[in-house]
A and B are shown apart, each in its own frame.
Chain A
Amino acid sequence: MIAFWIILTGALVAITCGLLGCFLILRKMSMVGDAISHAVLPGIVIAFLLSGSRETLPMLLGAGATGMLATFLIEYFHRRANLQTDAAIGVTFTFLFAVGIILISVFAGKVDLDQDCVLYGEIAYVPIDLWVMDGGIILGPRPVYILSAMLLVVILFIKVGYKELKLTSFDPAFASALGISTALWHYLLMAAVSLTTVSSFESVGAILVIAFLIGPPATAYLLTHDLKHMLAITAVLGIFIAFAGYWMAYWLNASIAGCMAVVTGICFASVFVAQRIAKRKSSPAMPGEAIG
């Protein structure tokens, strides 16, 4: 039962993050997940100062609010200041993270307060993080419910806005010519990303979310340039990684999130290498030609 819950949780996070990650890769904004993981710090500190507690709910609200603020700022700088997305991401999250550190030093220096101990969950704890009804009936792990709901929302979002998301990702100028508001869809996507990442951080920790946001979509991108196929490959890869990562952690008695992230990297590397070999075999070029 442990294996089932952890693999299910891993797969849910992998699919949810992966589907959104496909669009992020196409927009050259993959590192936005990493940015959010740092940018939530001031939100956590402010939520603690306002509520006086380190319970999950206020932390989640604070983190969610600053996550949204961070994605909003990134988009805003990118659009209005005509800044490259990577620069916009870098400027925004370092600024917000530093504000968080200063807030801790000034107001809460004696309290153990950082993302690691108040927000980031751990996928190993999923099977014991149970949702227990008043009558003592156990309904299974709480994160599975939250993540299932997130996955439903994300699938619905992509289904409803598929055409708009696709057009604004590939050809913003053409999208505006058709009367689609690129700004609106950018902000909607970013809102979905920050909600998904913050709620996933709370369930499984940061590194796994960042790995799933980038790894499977990047691997899928090597295999196909058709967006629908890319989304499907990402989902299937996510499930495979959750399986393989869990059993690797089981055999090595190691960190589950760490093993899943490693498998993600191995998947990417093996597809990349296999593709290079296949390419070389299919076009047996002369040595001189290969260089050109």
Chain B
Amino acid sequence: MLDSSKFRIFAFSMRKVYFVFVALWGISVCSSCQHRTGADTGHATPYILATTGMIADMLQHIAGDSAVVEALMHPGVDPHLYKASQGDLRKLLDADFIFYNGLHLEGKLASILNKQKRVKPVVAVGEGLADLIMINADTYDPHIWFDVSLWKAATAHAAKELAQLDSSNATYYHANALAYMAQLDTLDAWVHAQLNTIPPRQRVLITAHDAFSYFGRAYGVEVRGLQGISTLSEFGLQDVSALVDYIVDRQIPAVFVESSVSDRSLKAVLAGVQQRGGAVHIGGSLFSDAMGTPGTPEGTYIGMVQYNVNTIVAALSK
């Protein structure tokens, strides 16, 4: 056993340590007081940081080649569970403008971004939109990108904000935004047309967690989720048996898993339906909170929507 007297050197270090900290803290406060607000980080073209892939894709279309756009969250990352690394922090500090979804999609990060508004331009693309789905008082469903027309409104909002932030390119941004919004209009019409090919009785989207409310409202699809939005709200036994009854009664051909959520709960439903002689199968995996890998068609917003709709139509039209 080591002799404790060897550590006499530490006898007063607690107090010393604290004095050192107070001194350092004082110095740093004084030095940081001189840094006044301002986002001049010395980039030739604006460096725009978006939280999710969907927002980065939207801004890339608006900004074209006059800005560098990057997504903070990598493909496949659930925004509710995202944790920043050392490099992510550097990006947040380095960015000229930050665009995020808002409506509490980003959890704790959003409340910090909200405070950053006083230091550098931060835009919540989803906040302030009309026609948001209210869950509770002051609480809205954040998954706005599933309704293409709503995403178009968010694009218009983002373009307006970006044009104000970087007014020298304002006309360029507006032109780009209009072109992209035209593409979204085409996409919206295509989604309507595709989903109308599904027999009305089978136009039901069953997934593990409640992310598709906007999709259901916009395209006349009934949406059923097994568990709530929170990762902690577990499904109850009644939820499972109610869903099993529903699937058997309505003869729903398929249910869907999501790329970022476990399919364990849906397996229980499948087993229940099969016991009662129903024939439901898993219709495929949908992209919900994150897009596919960059470079693939599903790595863009439009490609992701097309993939989801094609998967749904193929599985439910049988």
* Cβ of A43 under 8 Å from chain B: no
Task: Point out the residues of chain A lying under 8 angstroms from B36, CB to CB.
Answer: 136-138
Choose one: B25, B93, B210, B230; the contact of A8 (CB below 8 Å).
B25
Q: Is the CB of A4 within 8 A of B28?
A: yes
- Which stretch of B110-118, B156-164, B171-179 is in the interface? B110-118
Task: Point out the residues of chain A lying under 8 angstroms from B18, CB to CB.
Answer: 151, 155
Q: Is the CB of A122 within 8 A of B228?
A: no
Q: Is the CB of B210 within 8 A of A110?
A: yes
Given A124-B88, A229-B11, A278 and B2 contact (CB-CB distance below 8 Å): yes
Choose one: B29, B139, B228; the contact of A109 (CB below 8 Å).
B228
* Bound: A255/B36 CA distance, A: 29
Q: Is the CB of B14 within 8 A of A232?
A: yes
- Distance from B76 Cβ to chain A, minimum over Cβ atoms (Å): 17
Count of chain A to chain B residue pairs whose CB atoms are closer than 8 Å in the complex? 189
Q: Is the CB of A236 within 8 A of B10?
A: yes
* Cβ of B17 under 8 Å from chain A: yes
Which of A4, A136, A229 has its CB near the most chain B CB atoms (within 10 A)? A229
- Distance from A86 Cβ to chain B, minimum over Cβ atoms (Å): 25
Q: 1/0 contact trace for A118-149 toward B, CB 8 Å? A: 11111011011110100011111000100010
* Bound: A138/B118 CA distance, A: 10
* Cβ of B35 under 8 Å from chain A: yes
- Distance from B61 Cβ to chain A, minimum over Cβ atoms (Å): 27
Q: Is the CB of A128 within 8 A of B89?
A: yes
Q: 1/0 contact trace for A142-183 toward B, CB 8 Å? A: 001000100100010000000000000000000000000000
* Cβ of A223 under 8 Å from chain B: yes
| CB nearest neighbor in B for A249 | B86
* Cβ of A34 under 8 Å from chain B: no
- Which stretch of B130-138, B242-250, B308-316 is in the interface? B130-138
Q: Is the CB of A249 within 8 A of B85?
A: yes
Given A112-B107, A128-B92, A144 and B112 contact (CB-CB distance below 8 Å): no
* Cβ of A270 under 8 Å from chain B: no
Choose one: B7, B37, B139; the contact of A224 (CB below 8 Å).
B7
Q: Is the CB of A109 within 8 A of B137?
A: no
Q: Is the CB of B2 within 8 A of A128?
A: no
Q: Is the CB of B85 within 8 A of A255?
A: yes
Given A117-B80, A226-B4, A228-B11, A253 and B21 contact (CB-CB distance below 8 Å): no
Q: Is the CB of A130 within 8 A of B25?
A: no
* Cβ of B83 under 8 Å from chain A: yes
Q: Is the CB of A104 within 8 A of B232?
A: yes
| CB nearest neighbor in A for B88 | A124
Task: Point out the residues of chain B lying under 8 angstroms from A11, CB to CB.
Answer: 21
* Cβ of A94 under 8 Å from chain B: no
- Distance from B139 Cβ to chain A, minimum over Cβ atoms (Å): 5
* Cβ of B192 under 8 Å from chain A: no
Task: Point out the residues of chain B lying under 8 angstroms from A132, CB to CB.
Answer: 37, 115, 118-119
Per DSSP, are chain A's interface residues mostly helix, strand or loop, or mixed? helix
* Cβ of A15 under 8 Å from chain B: yes
| CB nearest neighbor in A for B109 | A125
* Cβ of B233 under 8 Å from chain A: yes
Which of A12, A139, A224 has its CB near the most chain B CB atoms (within 10 A)? A224
Task: Point out the residues of chain B lying under 8 angstroms from A281, CB to CB.
Answer: none
Residue tally, chain B, CB below 8 Å to A: 60
* Bound: A129/B175 CA distance, A: 36
In the complex, which range does the number of interface residues on chain A fall in?
Answer: 35 or more
* Bound: A146/B159 CA distance, A: 38
- Distance from B91 Cβ to chain A, minimum over Cβ atoms (Å): 11
* Cβ of A84 under 8 Å from chain B: no
Which of B81, B89, B135 has its CB near the most chain A CB atoms (within 10 A)? B89
Choose one: A5, A111, A256; the contact of B228 (CB below 8 Å).
A111
Q: 1/0 contact trace for A1-24 toward B, CB 8 Å? A: 110110010011001000000000
Given A55-B111, A117-B108, A124-B89, A140 and B234 contact (CB-CB distance below 8 Å): no
Task: Point out the residues of chain A lying under 8 angstroms from B32, CB to CB.
Answer: 1, 138-140
- Distance from A291 Cβ to chain B, minimum over Cβ atoms (Å): 19
Given A122-B84, A236-B10, A113 and B232 contact (CB-CB distance below 8 Å): yes
Q: Is the CB of B7 within 8 A of A105?
A: no
| CB nearest neighbor in A for B9 | A232
Q: Is the CB of B85 within 8 A of A235?
A: no
Task: Point out the residues of chain B lying under 8 angstroms from A151, CB to CB.
Answer: 18
Task: Point out the residues of chain A lying under 8 angstroms from B236, CB to CB.
Answer: 105
Task: Point out the residues of chain A lying under 8 angstroms from B139, CB to CB.
Answer: 52, 54, 111
Q: Is the CB of B17 within 8 A of A239?
A: yes
Given contacts A228-B11, A255-B85, 19 further A-B contacts (CB under 8 A): A52-B139, A55-B111, A101-B233, A105-B234, A108-B233, A111-B230, A116-B108, A125-B108, A127-B89, A130-B115, A130-B119, A136-B36, A136-B118, A139-B33, A148-B21, A155-B14, A226-B7, A253-B85, A275-B2
- B residues near A (Cβ < 8 Å) are 1-2, 4, 7, 10-14, 17-18, 21, 24-25, 28-29, 32-33, 35-37, 80-81, 83-90, 92-93, 104, 107-109, 111-112, 115-116, 118-119, 135-139, 141-142, 210, 227-234, 236
The 3 closest A-B pairs by CB, nearest first: A117-B107, A109-B228, A232-B10
Instruction: Give 7 pairs: A residue, B residue, CB < 8 Å, sorted on A.
Output: A55-B111, A105-B236, A111-B136, A116-B80, A129-B115, A224-B7, A236-B17
